[in-house]
Structure 1
Amino acid sequence: MTEEEPLHFCITNTMTDVRSCTVKDEHQIVCDGYEYRRNPQHGGEEATGRECRGCLPRIAQVGLLCYSCYDKVLHAYSAWTEDRRRILASIDRAVQRDNGGVRTAQEGYVPLPGTMLALDEVASYLRTDTGTFTEWLSKPEGAADSLRFARAVTAAQRTHELEEKAHRVQRIRCPKCQQQSLVWKPTMKPDDHVTITCQNSSCDAELDQPTFELEESLQTHTNRVNVLPENQEGPLYLVRKKSA
Structure 2
Amino acid sequence: MADELNWPHLVRPAVPILYLDLNHFIFLARASQSVDRAPSGYGELGAALRSAVRSGRVVVPLSAQHVWEMHGIADPRQRRDIATVMKDLSGFEYLLGRVDIGQLEIEAGIRHILGEQAPAVPWPLIRPTIGQALGIVGGVKIVNEAGQDVSESMRAEMGATEFDAFVASANVAFEQGLLAGPSDEDAEMLRRDYGYSPEAARASGESRLAFEVDLAGRLAADERWRRGRLRDVVSAREFAHERIDVLNRMNQQRAEIATLNGGWFEATEPS
Q: TM-score, normalised by structure 1?
A: 0.21
Higher helix share: 2
Higher gyration radius (CA):
1
Q: Which has the higher contact order (CA 8 A, sep 6+)?
A: 2
Q: TM-score, normalised by structure 2?
A: 0.20
Q: Which has the higher strand share?
A: 1
